[in-house]
Amino acid sequence: MISKLIEIRDQARAKILEAKTIQELYEAKSLYLGKKSPLQEILGKMREFNADTKKEVGQKINEFKDMIEKEVAKRQEVLALAEVNKKLESEAIDVTLPAKNIKVGNLHILTKTIEELEEIFLGMGYNIAEGPEVEEDLYNFEMLNLPKGHPARDMQDSFYINPSLLLRTHTSPVQARTMLESKGKPIKIVCPGKVYRRDDDDATHSHQFMQLEGLVVGENISMADLKGTLSAVFEEMFGDGRKVRFRPSYFPFTEPSVEVDVSCFKCGGVGCNLCKGNGWIEVLGAGMVHPNVLDMAGYDSKKYQGFAFGIGIERITMLKHGIDDIRNFYINDPRFLRQF
């Protein structure tokens, strides 16, 4: 019986070592320790043995069980490690392969233009002011010398929400609000933002576009200050040597009013396709703040003067980068946006 136990023990050890998976290992353990194992057969015959044989066989059976448990535990550890290594190998990353190019987002070119202009004006001592895009008629028109029924309102076909609310047609209402809040004190601000007008979209027009308006109010402010300011801004934006010229125009909220041209930054004023051969490019409208606007905002128009200007962000960007269609800014074509 002892020799048979030794034979079963050797078979069990070999079977355990042959196991290639955890499942096979458990099956081997069950084969030699389960209810139908050779060990159970021997235990079933124990009553036939005398006392000394029972003692010796029982001791060997306990040793046999301990041996199988230890061998199974050792083999299980080996198989578990092998499975982990196999999984790691299957999931391994070849770090020598070239990496994929990750497409990184960027600021929109119009945002970049606004930030560039803001940096220029901040460096000149201006503050940045903002206001609501849904605006009251009072601030959008009346406070800017455009009372109800004024024919100049037809210059800006508007999106009305109700008789007293509309989508602002320019950023000038921010100027009116800021003047009221300043209560007669000097101010120096720029107001960037979106504006809306009922217009047919084409290569140069859009129902929504962006402006950056500037306003300076103080004592002894003149057209010379306006021209000097714009000359400095355009030199920073388009390069040294830019010249600025004023042409008479009309805006209800400024008097006198001017259209502002800058010398062509492509040909230097000689004449090219960008400036249509005349050496100048129209860039914005401006003028001295109308006395009525100052008075309505609580300023003494006999003591204070001011100038204002409105820069079209899309127009400046189109000129600077040679873009020929305003719609390119809004159709989200990656081929266009990646250029900037």
pLDDT one-digit tens code per residue, 181-200: 999 999 999 999 999 998 88
Does 119 share its domain with 82? no
Where b means 16+ CB within 10 Å and e means fewer, 10-48 reads: eebbebbeebeeeeebeebbebbbeeebbbeebeeeeee
> Is residue 100 situated within a structural domain?
no
Residue 111: per-residue pLDDT: 95
Does 27 share its domain with 58? yes
Say which DSSP state 315 is in. H
Does 224 share its domain with 279? yes
Does 66 share its domain with 129? no
Strands annotated E in the chain: 127-128, 134-136, 160-162, 165-167, 187-196, 208-218, 244-251, 254-263, 280-289, 305-312
Does 117 share its domain with 163? yes
C-alpha distances out from residue 58 to 37, 42, 63, 66, 272, Å:
16, 10, 9, 12, 111
Does 153 share its domain with 6? no
Does 79 share its domain with 113? no
**Angle CA 317–319–324, to nearest 5:** 90
> Is residue 251 situated within a structural domain?
yes
> Is residue 140 situated within a structural domain?
yes
Radius of gyration for the chain, computed over Cα atoms and rounded to the nearest angstrom: 43
| pLDDT greater than 80 at residue 51 | no
Q: Crossing angle of helices 22-33/51-90, nearest 10°?
A: 170
Q: Crossing angle of helices 51-90/2-18, nearest 10°?
A: 10
- For CA atoms 53, 59, 60, 62, the dihedral sign is positive
- Bond from prior residue into 173 cis (ω within 30 degrees of 0): no
285: β partners: 259, 310
Q: pLDDT band at 99, cuts 50/70/90?
A: confident
Does 54 share its domain with 188? no
With beta carbons less than 8 A apart as the criterion, state whether 211 and 311 touch: yes
Q: pLDDT band at 175, cuts 50/70/90?
A: very high
| Domain count for the chain | 2
Instruction: CATH number of the domain at 299, please.
Output: 3.30.930.10
List, in sequence order, the alpha helices (H) in 208-312.
223-238, 291-296
First to last CA, the chain: 90
Strands annotated E in 165-276: 165-167, 187-196, 208-218, 244-251, 254-263
Residue 300: per-residue pLDDT: 94
Question: Once rounded to an integer, what is the mean pLDDT over residues 79-103?
Answer: 81
Question: Once rounded to an integer, what is the mean pLDDT over residues 83-94?
Answer: 81
Residue 41: per-residue pLDDT: 66
**Considering only CA atoms, which of 222, 215, 209 is closest in space to residue 180?**
215
> Is residue 95 situated within a structural domain?
no
Residue 39: per-residue pLDDT: 64
pLDDT one-digit tens code per residue, 247-281: 999 999 999 999 998 888 778 778 887 788 888 88
Residue 150: per-residue pLDDT: 78
Does 158 share its domain with 191? yes
Residue 12: per-residue pLDDT: 73
* Token representation of residue 205: 């027009």
41, 63, 90 — which closes off a domain?
90
217: β partners: 187, 306
Q: pLDDT band at 43, cuts 50/70/90?
A: low
With beta carbons less than 8 A apart as the criterion, state whether 239 and 141 touch: no
pLDDT one-digit tens code per residue, 279-332: 888 889 999 999 999 999 999 999 999 999 999 999 899 888 888 889 999 988
Does 15 share its domain with 125? no
* Token representation of residue 240: 């040294």
Does 55 share its domain with 167? no
Distance, in Å, from the CA atom of 241 to the CA atom of 268, rounded to the nearest integer, reads 8
Q: pLDDT band at 45, cuts 50/70/90?
A: low
Residue 149: per-residue pLDDT: 82
pLDDT one-digit tens code per residue, 123-165: 999 999 999 999 999 999 999 998 888 776 776 688 999 989 9
pLDDT one-digit tens code per residue, 7-29: 777 777 777 777 778 787 777 77
Does 136 share its domain with 217? yes
| pLDDT greater than 70 at residue 49 | no
Residue 92: per-residue pLDDT: 77
Residue 155: per-residue pLDDT: 63
33, 61, 90 — which closes off a domain?
90
Domain residue limits at 34: 2-90
Residue 97: per-residue pLDDT: 78
Q: Mean pLDDT across the chain, nearest whole number?
A: 86
> Is residue 102 situated within a structural domain?
no
